[in-house]
Structure 1
Amino acid sequence: MMKNKMMNMVKMTLASTMLFASLSVTASAAQPIKRVGTPDIQVLIDARKIKLTDAKPYANEDQRVMVPVRVVSEGLGAKVDWNQAENKVTITKDEKVVQLTANQKTAVVNGKTVQFDTNMTVKKQRVYVPLRFVSEALGQSVMWDSVSRWVWIGKQDVPRPEDVGIKNVPLEDVVKYFKNRQDIYEYHDKATIYKSSDFPISLPVKIGENVIYEVFQANQGSIEGIGLHYSGTILSNIHLVLEDYKGVRTRNPVYTEKHVDGTKTAYFPVVSESDSLFFNIKNYKDLKYSHLKYLGITTDSNSLQLLQLK
């Protein structure tokens, strides 16, 4: 029986590539894999995203990331004072004092004038400062993640769910979505649901460390797909969980991109002929990315891992 199951998985893997086969070639092909849309720049302090509402980071004409001074500085534990008459902001943390003036490329750090390569600006009644300069002036390390468009400040130790208060839910809350695939959840006794704001997160596994950074829509021409940015070795397959309790579709990665920082992005098809071959789903080509509610991740945890897409 185990041999038959393994053979079926091999067949499903081959079938999964049939309608998305072009993803198995390099991204330099005539129809490259492209992320749908451009994500907003996110700022992470000690591996957790900080909440930014009406004042969002942006890249200015000097290609420097500009951030709202109060939100980021206070996230670093600093005090911020704004002198409107002089268009000057003073940031204080412990023994460090940083002063910047609007439209100037100099700052005063602990009484010494320092030259940097872009201006502090006032935009829509918000004061924006160059993120790297301010963070490093306050003694914090800064790293730019070009894959996700994230700015990492401080520690990069990605937490586990229990470290940040992510709670499990009863398995009964989600099995209604798996009505056609009991085999997926039968070895689990609970479920964990992650929102995009929970990423990055280190999934609970018995050996090693597996981190999910983000999940996004990434198409190749008119062919819809899913991109999953991660590190580790977790991706033997994923499960597309449909909204309205219409079942689950299993997918294998058909192209994996390796990044210079050691992370990877795996790409999966939305449509696969395996749905017809193995589950007799006649209208399998009608499946759309917009129909998906969760992405299920297979791990050795006793908790069913679900990434929320809606």
Structure 2
Amino acid sequence: MEGQVIVVKKMVVSFLAAALLLPGVETVSAASSDYEIPKVKNMSIEVLVDARRVAFPDEKPQINNGTTFVPLRFVSDKLGGTLDLNGKDITIVKGERTVNLTIGAKTATVNGKIVTLDKASFAKNGRTLVPLRFVSEALGENVKWDAPNQYIWIGSTEVPTLEEISKPVPIKPYLHLYEKGESLINYGAVSLDQVRVLSPDDFPIKFEKQTIYRMDYAVMNNGLEYLRTVSDSKELIGTGIYLLQKGEPAKFRGEISYLRERVTDFPDYRVKYHKIVDGKDRHVLGIEDYEKVRLKHMEYVGLSIDADSAVLIKNDFTK
């Protein structure tokens, strides 16, 4: 049955993608460098430990002249180090490694060996912030900076699967959101009866044929809204999304292919964009005031993707 769902779903996605070739809809044109690229508003820096985002309840990671700092408590909570704070002197012990720092000093020791730091630790709002890369590597962790995603990967980079991230629940309580969009979950004789509900903070996630690293709210200079997605999918027809809002028709959105970006130094990444306002809503769904559609009004963003269930993301993108 699962194989039937995937095969039929591919046919539906292909049909929807073909609809993008109708008059008045963007199609593949010139290189993305010929066009304005939507800008992410306040794209967050995220620290990932073993491919999972770390939540910072008060002081967030911050970059100071190229050096990323994190609250000292992160070291004990996520890296497994034992802390001892004596005045301005910090001692971190993990296994056979001992790291000594002093707030405000640009030297530290690792197992007694003196190391010069680019930037010193400092105190802010009652929290001590320490240089992330130095401390992580001193404790034996691999650290990788991922510019397209604004990710700092620590430890394993093995991304968990959708099934590991989210458990399926019955789709019935969500069916009212699929007005005029039944084809998004019904594929001939096969209907999806479950849904997996995600948060933007759950990314990165590995799906059957691609990994989606993050999704963010982006805006053009003229105010037009988009969702920006970074994935490793190189398929000609990108993954579609759909917008769900109570009392409104479900709105499918294909990738705007001519905005797709390749990333220097990250050859596996593709940056893709889906617009929020689309003139097809007037012709296909009968929405005359389609230009008033705003992402902030949506309850969920759906992914039109190969999976054993519908996949919805809680709309926290504009917060």
Provide the TM-score with structure 2 as the length reference.
0.85
| Aligned amino acid, residue 240 of structure 2 | I
Q: 1:34 aligns with which of 24, 32, 39?
A: 39
Paired letter, 2:246: D
Tell me the CA shift for residue 136 of structure 1. 0.5
Give the 5 Å matches for 1:132-171: 132-164=133-165, 166-171=166-171
The superposition leaves residues 148-202 of structure 1 with CA deviations (integer Å, 9 ceiling, x where unpaired) of 22211010000013334x2111111211110211111113121111112211111
Q: Which residue of 1 aligns with 2:48?
A: 44
Corresponding residue number in structure 2 for 1:258: 262
Distance 1:7 1:90, change over 3 A: closer
Letter in 1 for 2:95: D
2:18 equivalent to 1:10: yes
1:190 aligns with 2:191: no
CA distance 1:139–1:160, shift in 2 (3 Å): same
Indicate if the aligned counterparts of 1:42 and 1:149 stay in contact, CA closer than 8 A.
yes
* Structure 1 residue aligned with 2:277: 271
1:96-126 CA-partner distances (Å, limit 9, x unpaired): 0000011111111101111121111111211
CA change 1:126–1:7 in 2 (3 A) is closer
1:58-96 Cα deviation digits (max 9, x unpaired)? 011x32001111223431111111111xx0111100000
Change (3 A) 1:16 1:132: farther
> Which residue of structure 2 aligns with residue 299 of structure 1?
305
Could you tell me which amino acid in structure 2 is paired with residue 118 of structure 1? K
Contact in 2 for aligned 1:105/1:117 (Cα 8 Å): yes
CA pair 4-161 structure 1, distance change in 2 beyond 3 A:
closer
TM-superposed deviation, 1:42: 1.5
Specify whether residues 67 and 8 from structure 1 end up closer, same or farther in structure 2 by C-alpha distance, changes over 3 A only. Answer: closer
Give, in angstroms, the shift of residue 293 of structure 1: 2.2
Classify the secondary structure of the residue corresponding to 2:148. Answer: coil
Q: Which amino acid is 1:297 matched to?
A: L
Would you say the 8 A contact 2:242–2:304 is kept in 1?
no
**Other structure's SS at 1:136 match:** helix
2:107 is equivalent to residue 103 of structure 1: no
Question: Structure 1 residues 9, 195: closer, same or farther in 2, change over 3 A?
Answer: closer
Structure 2 counterpart of 1:140, one-letter code: E
TM-score, normalised via structure 1 length: 0.87
2:244–2:302 CA contact under 8 A, matched in 1: no
Gaps in structure 1 of 5+ consecutive residues: none
1:211/1:139 CA distance change after superposition, 3 Å: same
Q: Name the stretch that deviates more: 242-251 or 136-145.
A: 242-251
The sequence identity of aligned pairs, in percent, is: 29
* Preserved CA contact (<8 Å) 1:45 1:75: yes
List aligned pairs for 1:168-187, cutoff 5 A.
Answer: 168-186=168-186, 187=191
Question: Relative to structure 1, is the Cα distance of residues 304 and 15 closer, same or farther in structure 2, using a 3 angstrom cutoff?
Answer: farther
Cα distance change, pair 152–115 in 1 and its aligned pair in 2 (3 A)? same
Amino acid at match of 2:310: L
Specify the code of the residue in structure 1 equivalent to 2:217. Q
What letter matches 1:10 in structure 2? Answer: A
Assess if the C-alpha contact under 8 Å between 2:103 and 2:120 holds in 1: yes
1:220 is matched with: 220
Tell me, yes or no, if structure 1 residue 69 matches structure 2 residue 67. no
**Code of the aligned partner of 1:190:** Q
Aligned length: 296
Q: Say whether the 8 Å CA contact 1:178–1:241 is kept in structure 2.
A: no
